[in-house]
Structure 1
Amino acid sequence: MTTTRFAPSPTGYIHIGNLRTALMNYLIARKAGGTFILRIDDTDPERSKEEYVDGIKQDLEWLGLHWDRIERQSLRLDQYADAADKLRDMGRFYEAFETPTELDLKRKKQLNMGKPPVYDRAALVLSDAEKDALRTERGAGVWRFKLDRERIEWADGILGDISIDAASVSDPVLIRGDGQILYTLASVVDDTEMGVTNVVRGSDHVTNTATQIQIINALGGTVPAFAHHSLLTGPQGEALSKRLGTLALRDLRESGVQPAALLSLMARLGSSDPVELHTDMADLIEGFDISRFGSAPTKFDADDLYPLTARYLAGLSLADVAEEISAAGVPDDMAAQFWDVTRENITTLKDIAPWWVMMRDGAEPQIDDEDREFVADALALLPDGAFDATTWGTWTGAVKEKTGRKGRGLFMPLRKALTGQSHGPDMSMLMPLLQTVKARE
């Protein structure tokens, strides 16, 4: 059975880059009728916060990305300890004691000599007495996995055939000096024991994947099918990492972005398929194909989410937005008419209330200097009494006959005078909802 996972660290809220990873893994699992695991990477007790765990769940539920089961890595420390013991017994795990400063000096020396900055395995030649002395002086060391210095190869689902020389990679640290299990070991143990068959993650993990493949093989596991998606950039190709704080999913939700818009964009962005609005998750699942994604950096512009959101809202029924319309103060007997008028003219649900305020209380007229006399003459011709669907046509016909104006020169100044806007709903539909026009003459 196809099994995928999303493994966020609860050290912050999900941002748009995290979503891309979560969504791809979700779609693969659902298309295959498999299992999608939410795995909380909370092995760092200092930085992991329960509020972020709750936030991760809330964001996924808001999007409709429902997991089949949830795992907590903090509850699996015994399994990681067992794997570490197994690696020690195999001679693939060793303790190293260099300080960060010493490692930095070694790297600089190697670079100056034109060599790759790879850990020199000096810890492997330490005697037991030397190790005891270093523990006494510095405390426990870190534990490194001893790589077989050979080529590591796999067929990547997006990048194609990958080959990395393990001799160009430092033996990875899997356990810190304070005993904290790092992601590289925990992820391997979890993927193996949970039967994960497919892993999609960012292309910045390619080297990490190479080392994990060797660890998986050493522990007797089955290597999943890996795919590494491109990293997102800003709309001009700039690095997005510094802006991710402003692109948390909860911030996008607060700004009015709808789940359907976000999912429709992120499920196709960077692929050869066009971005189209999909309101049914089943359509996104059926049309998803990981092989159609490219390796080039992918431009993301949050502004692209708003036209999709507007298109989604335009397709909603009155029942879908009844709560928001009621909260804006629209009378029940006017709700249906109000929604018919505004549905094509809002970008987010937050625009509902301002439209009603304009209809109820009026807007600040926008009148160009050259149109002031014309608008004054036109308002004098505005019919008395309640407006209906014929009012706009009757009124503009009378204004045209008196002033000789026609086309845009006739209609635009009148729209701006009544609504304060140069664009908006069909004025024939809007006029019956305007409450205060006569009071502003």
Structure 2
Amino acid sequence: MPSPSPVHVRFAASPSGYLHAGNARQAVINTLFARAHHGRLTLRIDDADTERTRTAFEVAIEQDLAWLGIAWEDKINQSARRARYADAAEALKKSGRLYPCFESEEELAAKRALRARRNLPPLYDRAMLSLTPAQRAAAEANGKTPYWRFRLSDGAITWTDLILGPRDIRLDTVSDPVLIRADGMPLGIFASIVDDLDTAITHIIRGEDQIAATAAQIEVWRALAPKKPLPEFGHLPLIAELAGTKSTKRGGSVSLRTLRRDGIEPTALAAYLARLGTRRDPEPLTLAELAANFSLDAFARGTPRFDAKQLLALNRRVLHSQPYDSVADRLPEGATEQFWCAIRANIDLLSEARHWWAIINGPIDPPEIPEAQMILQTALQTLPDATPDAPWDETTWKSWITAIAAQTHTSGKALQMPLRLALTGETHGPELAALLPLMKRDLVINRLERAL
């Protein structure tokens, strides 16, 4: 018995806009599936329709995938394969499976409307199958150019979906699909199968919105290459914010560009998308760590919901463990490792580092705290000097707060909150023991005086 082919998956993206969370989730899952099975990932750029696609978006797609940590072994562009699609179409024409059609959009709409009035499903009636050679010649003589439909067979298409389980689609409930437009442009349903055949794709993992096309694609595959084994299919339920809507790749809050600009870390986003829709809680893991125990069996059949709060919580966990070297080039100019270690446990987004950099360097407008005058006056009187014997460092806060507590007979929140407000203008934030050494002593004095 021959050994199974090595796993080979693909991520297909149309460069008609930016990637959104739904696209990225498919890319992440295909990547993890390939790594878990020591397989390959192909990046496919669906740019056959050059009027709808832009090179700039193709570049952006590659940048976004690289930002997520996704690498691909090879890449194909559909725009470079038009001749191959034409050859495949000719083969289907010769076998009688691809037939010409001349109806206009208005005529097709009228047919659908008539079927709707009769309470019939909007299926194509295959009227063009009975077209005689003379009728076709007459249509072409009148300036009409045919588009081409694929003649589906009778019966049903069945497969066991890797995520959704057994599927059974009766072909008499599906219209013969259009594969080639009148201008010769191959539609995605056709180009995709030709690409998958030529690149020996073994598993197709994509969104549930593509499941309706799967039966027709299986039929086309068998017509083109009856002896080649079919790939296995897995259809992911769509993310709730995308399901049932017309969200585009420019889709606002779910755009990768927006998430990146807002300060979401790539490790957090990839880890969140990898577990979204599974029974496993998201964890701040790398792609390599996620691939170690990745399985499509973990995905549920229900619609997952993109939870921004959960993503933010995961982002916080990622930042808390980030070493200085990994963020240094994105911190404010002059920010040190000491600064990063002081603030990283108290930020949700890296962009918040600029706020704390401004706080330790001033100026800020601390509130007046008249009810805490005794504490603030004592703080001014007991503020240590920076001397060789008592340096201004991480030990300063403990000795200072101890002296203030002893003289004012206060402790806990009643003692620390006025000092936090006076020094930072905030009610919450990084430990003052870590922030104080980052502030100049004159700045501390100024803020205490202004808060009195």
TM-score normalised over the length of structure 1: 0.92
Correspondences of 1:133-172 after superposition (within 5 Å)? 133-137=138-142, 139-172=144-177
Contact 1:381 1:399 in 2 (8 A): no
Distance 1:282 1:418, change over 3 A: same
Contact 1:147 1:211 in 2 (8 A): yes
The alpha carbon displacement at 1:258 in A equals: 1.3
Contact 2:100 2:146 in 1 (8 A): yes
The reply to whether residue 67 of structure 1 matches residue 72 of structure 2 is yes
Letter in 2 for 1:349: L
Contact 1:256 1:348 in 2 (8 A): yes
Separation (CA, whole Å) in 2 of partners of 1:190 and 1:108: 35
The alpha carbon displacement at 1:416 in A equals: 1.6
Give the structure 2 partner of residue 27 of structure 1.
Answer: 32
Correspondences of 1:41-80 after superposition (within 5 Å)? 41-80=46-85
3-state DSSP of counterpart to 2:430: coil
Letter in 2 for 1:290: L
The reply to whether residue 293 of structure 1 matches residue 285 of structure 2 is no
Give the structure 1 partner of residue 383 of structure 2.
Answer: 383
Distance 1:141 1:371, change over 3 A: farther
Give the structure 1 partner of residue 389 of structure 2.
Answer: none
Letter in 2 for 1:310: R
3-state DSSP of counterpart to 2:434: helix
Give the structure 2 partner of residue 417 of structure 1.
Answer: 422
Contact 2:189 2:213 in 1 (8 A): yes
The alpha carbon displacement at 1:275 in A equals: 0.9
3-state DSSP of counterpart to 2:291: helix
Give the structure 2 partner of residue 251 of structure 1.
Answer: 258
Separation (CA, whole Å) in 1 of partners of 2:50 and 2:393: 65
Match of 1:277 among 265, 272, 284: 284
Give the structure 1 partner of residue 8 of structure 2.
Answer: 3
Give the structure 1 partner of residue 324 of structure 2.
Answer: 318
Give the structure 1 partner of residue 197 of structure 2.
Answer: 192
Letter in 2 for 1:347: D
Separation (CA, whole Å) in 2 of partners of 1:115 and 1:295: 30
Residues 217-250 of structure 1, C-alpha deviation per residue, up to 9 Å, x if partnerless?
A: 1112431100000001139x98582682442222
Residues 88-142 of structure 1, C-alpha deviation per residue, up to 9 Å, x if partnerless?
A: 1111111112222221221122122121110001111122232233334452121
Distance 1:271 1:210, change over 3 A: same
The alpha carbon displacement at 1:268 in A equals: 0.9
Separation (CA, whole Å) in 2 of partners of 1:130 and 1:249: 52
Contact 1:97 1:138 in 2 (8 A): no
Distance 1:404 1:59, change over 3 A: same
Separation (CA, whole Å) in 2 of partners of 1:128 and 1:371: 97
Give the structure 1 partner of residue 340 of structure 2.
Answer: 339
The alpha carbon displacement at 1:378 in A equals: 4.7
Distance 1:100 1:366, change over 3 A: farther
Bigger drift between 338-347 and 62-71 goes to 338-347
Give the structure 2 partner of residue 225 of structure 1.
Answer: 232
The alpha carbon displacement at 1:310 in A equals: 2.5
Separation (CA, whole Å) in 1 of partners of 2:26 and 2:324: 35
Contact 1:328 1:352 in 2 (8 A): no
Give the structure 2 partner of residue 118 of structure 1.
Answer: 123
Letter in 1 for 2:223: A
3-state DSSP of counterpart to 1:294: coil
TM-score normalised over the length of structure 2: 0.89
Match of 1:304 among 303, 310, 319: 310
Separation (CA, whole Å) in 2 of partners of 1:204 and 1:76: 25
* Alignment gaps of 5+ in structure 1: none
Bigger drift between 303-312 and 69-78 goes to 303-312
Give the structure 1 partner of residue 357 of structure 2.
Answer: 356
Distance 1:87 1:336, change over 3 A: closer
Distance 1:39 1:390, change over 3 A: closer
3-state DSSP of counterpart to 1:241: coil
Distance 1:192 1:346, change over 3 A: same
Separation (CA, whole Å) in 2 of partners of 1:82 and 1:336: 60
Separation (CA, whole Å) in 2 of partners of 1:422 and 1:157: 51
Give the structure 2 partner of residue 396 of structure 1.
Answer: 401
Give the structure 2 partner of residue 267 of structure 1.
Answer: 274
Letter in 2 for 1:338: F
Contact 2:375 2:408 in 1 (8 A): no
Distance 1:371 1:82, change over 3 A: same
Separation (CA, whole Å) in 2 of partners of 1:57 and 1:267: 19
* Alignment gaps of 5+ in structure 2: 1-5, 387-391
Contact 1:216 1:222 in 2 (8 A): no
Separation (CA, whole Å) in 1 of partners of 2:159 and 2:408: 77
Letter in 1 for 2:276: L
RMSD: 2.2
3-state DSSP of counterpart to 2:169: strand
3-state DSSP of counterpart to 1:7: strand
Separation (CA, whole Å) in 1 of partners of 2:49 and 2:33: 29
Contact 2:384 2:396 in 1 (8 A): no
Give the ranges of 4+ consecutive aligned residues of structure 1 lying more than 6 Å apart after TM superposition: none
Residues 236-278 of structure 1, C-alpha deviation per residue, up to 9 Å, x if partnerless?
A: x985826824422222222221111011101111011221110
Contact 1:119 1:170 in 2 (8 A): yes
Equivalent pairs counted in the alignment come to 433
Bigger drift between 290-299 and 300-309 goes to 300-309
Contact 2:99 2:129 in 1 (8 A): yes
3-state DSSP of counterpart to 1:110: helix
Contact 1:234 1:301 in 2 (8 A): no
Give the structure 1 partner of residue 215 of structure 2.
Answer: 210
Distance 1:151 1:371, change over 3 A: farther
Contact 1:43 1:73 in 2 (8 A): yes
Distance 1:239 1:371, change over 3 A: farther
The alpha carbon displacement at 1:145 in A equals: 0.4
Q: Percent identity?
A: 39
3-state DSSP of counterpart to 1:70: strand
Distance 1:186 1:115, change over 3 A: same
Letter in 2 for 1:270: G
